[in-house]
Structure 1
Amino acid sequence: MVKRLPFILLMLAGAASACEAPPPARGDIEANSYYSDAHHSVIDPVLRAKNIANTRPIEDFLSQVARDANGQGDAACALSWLASWGGQKAMLGKMSSEQAYYVRKWTLGGMALSYARIQRQATPAQRATIEGWFKALADATIAHSDAKKGGRNNHYYWEGLAVTAVGGVTGEARYLDWGRKVLNHALGQMEPDGALPAEMERAGKALHYQVYAATPLALMASILDVHDARLDTLVGFTVAASADPSGIARRTGVAQEPVGSREVTVFYNRHEGRPPLTGKALWQPRLGGALDVPNPLEHLK
């Protein structure tokens, strides 16, 4: 046994050093809008490339955390990365634009949903650091959102998802309550047929943004365990429009870019006890990684 000890220690040391060092935390977020028309439906490729370059370190961080939390790496690495950025109060500095706030809320939601998969493996110190950081980010998200004037669109729904996910992993009712307020607002402003009015104003991207807006709402409903006939209408309209965009094309007067609706229905079907989707597995770091594997925060029927 004594002769084997050094080998065992080497194995343990190798496992401990398998995680790459966390990248430097980003306190500030530099991001820019990249649409060139009044409907925010036409992308300027130069501005888009600039935004991608500036936000890549944050997107890469989120993607790696999602991979590690979803079993493509080591959960301990995801926890160490989250604790590292949490300890440095990442993303709580200067936001250069509205787009920077968008990046922060997308990242917060994705991190919280990935963390939910590995929360039980966190040490007490890691939990205190990560969850305290999440709460600070959620408070900043709420403050920015509540200060905004004007219409509420998909960005409000993604803010709701981020804050709801933080409520799910911290158990704090105030975050869940705020998310429920966002969900109720979204369903309340929905048109009778299930269309979301703000998304219908996006010209050739109206269908794209209908799907994009419905996705966080479907997941929020599952986390909050809300069953609502209005959500059934929303999902039904979104799925039908995705299969046949001609209705939205007539409504907007603009041909629609085709887009699938599986990200919406994968959450909705699980929550409503409907058959699971078939086909290629879905992956989205902003939604916690593997969409086909239920998130611990979801309520399954």
Structure 2
Amino acid sequence: MNRMSFASLRLGMLLLLGTATLGVALSAHAMSYEKRQKLDLSQYTVKDPDASFFDVKSRMALLKRTDNDMLEYNRDALKEGPSCRQELAKPPLDSVIRIPGYYPQPKAWELASQPLFDFEDTVSHLAGSYVASGDDYYADCLVQFLDKWATHDAISDFYYTRREPQGWYSTESMMFAAALSYSIVRPAVADKRPEAIERINHWLNTLAHKHSGIRGGENSCCNNHFYRRALYASMIGVLTDDDELFQFGVSAVYSALSDMLPNGALPREMERGRRASHYQNYALLYLVNIMQVAYRQGYDLFEFKYDGHTIDQGVQFALDTFDDPAALGDLATHNQYRGFLDDEQYLAWMEIYLKHHPDPRISRYVSKKRPIDNRSAGGYVTLYFMDPEAQQHAVLAPKKKEMAATFEPD
């Protein structure tokens, strides 16, 4: 081995050791799984099982009378929704869901994941069409669609090992996509299809307990994947009047705030190196949705402080790194991946957050991407949340969609 190659190897080893040491240091600051299990969250109970993550009736009334061009455009684009017959013809995923890892096999992962993405698109689209049109046809269709999957006990058989967790990861977003969308339409159909409602409730509740009962690995027990599980748990907990699941969801907020560094960084997400800023944002996508579900039950976690931290510290840190990656300091490389800022789905949390904390920087980012929708984490958030006074017209710019969208491989 010549001197140049030996020096390069030595440098590489030093960088690797430095990264590993930083990762250990950051993880040591984070709340452990065991400590999280001991949290007393008994004060968080479900108050209204029929409350969606936004006030559906009030929003539909606003959409009927609005003269806001942005909302009218978004509403009119969704009014003529999909054919129920075509949606019901889609087969449920009632066999073992086994998904290859993304990084070693991106093409295979994409192909295997397509039916899962289609499910998320279907439930989100039907819910959006109901809100936009006020036509119970779409609400009834969504309940029939979910009832078919419930009858087949779909997505309950997923392959999971510590070495091959992708099937477990992939079903997370299917569950919260279903729960959030179902919460929008259920009150409109409950009297018409009580037996279907009972089956769907049982299916979702059983699935949530089974899925969340898996602890996960050293990272997935407690990082953004935990926040994803907490999102479906919070919403399904509300829908099925299950305080245990609802508290599981709230525990993610406690965990994230406890983990948070003084500058607002989430240490487990900082370990992602070149994607640290991306994963800080990714974590907020789920945490903000959980907080919105809790808010609708009477718990204002947007103003909550735990271990000296609030969610706004995490938000401001994320925005700082978007504006200038140097804000990461020594936590991660400043050569950050920034492609997620071109995909509006990753910014869906911002539309919700603005309802609680007006912020000029957030407004700047979302104004360029509206109308924003996310096929699983919130659906048509501009339609559901944007203040009519916030923006009248879309900013014309080419939009870039990523296949991964709201699912990030670990």
TM exceeding 0.5: yes
Deviation at 1:24, TM superposition (A): 3.3
SS in 2 for 1:144: coil
Mapped to 1, the partners of 2:86 and 2:287 lie a distance apart of: 37
**Structure 1's 20 and 222: CA in aligned 2 closer, same or farther, altered over 3 A?**
closer
Given candidates 95, 106, 111, the residue that maps to 1:27 is 95
CA 1:205–1:89: 2 relative to 1, 3 Å: same
Q: Are 1:84 and 2:148 counterparts?
A: yes
Q: Shift in Å at residue 66 of structure 1?
A: 1.0
Query: What is the RMSD of the two structures over their aligned residues, measured on CA atoms?
Result: 2.4
Question: What is the distance in 2 between the residues matched to 1:17 and 1:143?
Answer: 35
Q: How many residues align?
A: 270
Counterpart mapping for 1:234-245 below 5 A = 234-245=314-325
Cα distance, 1:20 vs structure 2 = 4.1
When Rg is computed on C-alpha atoms for both structures, the one with the higher figure is 2
| 1:93 has 2:157 as partner | yes
CA contact (8 A) 1:27 1:89 kept: no
Q: Tell me if the contact between 2:183 and 2:239 (Cα under 8 Å) persists in the aligned partners.
A: yes
Paired residue type of 2:326: S
Higher RCO (CA 8 Å, separation ≥ 6 residues): 2
Structure 2: state its 5+ residue gaps: 1-82, 131-136, 296-300, 386-410
What amino acid maps onto 1:91 in structure 2?
I
1:193-272 → structure 2 map (5 Å cutoff): 193-225=263-295, 226=301, 227-229=303-305, 230-248=310-328, 251-258=331-338, 259-260=340-341, 262-272=347-357
Indicate conservation of the 8 Å contact 1:166/1:175, yes or no.
yes
Q: Distance in 2 between matches of 1:139 and 1:293?
A: 31
Q: 1:68 aligns with which of 120, 126, 151?
A: 126
Letter in 2 for 1:22: K
- Offset at 1:19? 5.0
Code of the aligned partner of 1:64: T
- After TM superposition, the score normalised by the length of structure 2 is 0.61
- C-alpha contact 2:124 2:379 (8 A) present in aligned 1: yes
Q: Tell me, which stretches of 5 or more residues in structure 1 are unaligned?
A: 1-14, 36-43, 296-301
Say whether the 8 Å CA contact 1:153–1:198 is kept in structure 2. yes
Q: Normalised by the size of structure 1, how large is the TM-score? A: 0.81
Secondary structure (helix, strand or coil) at the match of 1:109 reads helix
Q: Aligned pair in 2 of structure 1 residues 149, 292: CA closer, same or farther (>3 Å)?
A: same
Larger deviation: 203-212 or 284-293?
Answer: 284-293
Distance 1:16 1:291 in 2: 23
Q: Which residue of 2 aligns with 1:160?
A: 230
User: Does the 8 Å contact 1:29/1:55 carry over to 2?
Assistant: no
Paired residue for 1:293, among 367, 374, 383? 383
Amino acid corresponding to residue 91 of structure 2 in structure 1: P
Q: Is the 8 A contact 1:69 1:118 kept in 2?
A: yes
SS of residue paired to 2:331:
helix
Moved more, 251-260 or 85-94: 251-260
Find the partner of 1:141 among 175, 192, 211: 211
CA distance in 2, matches of 1:201, 1:16: 44
Q: 1:90 to 1:245 in 2, by over 3 A?
A: same
Q: How does 1:38-53 map to 2 (within 5 A)?
A: 44=104, 47-53=105-111
CA apart distance, 1:128: 0.7
1:169-223 CA-partner distances (Å, limit 9, x unpaired): 2232111111111210111011111101111111111111110011111111121
Is contact 1:164–1:176 with CA below 8 Å preserved after alignment?
A: yes
SS at match of 1:289: coil
Which residue identity is paired with 2:165? E
d(CA) in 1 for partners of 2:321 and 2:237? 32
8 Å contact from structure 1 (residues 22, 84) kept in 2: no
Q: Residue type of the partner of 2:333?
A: G
Q: Offset at 1:239?
A: 2.0
Identity score, percent: 24
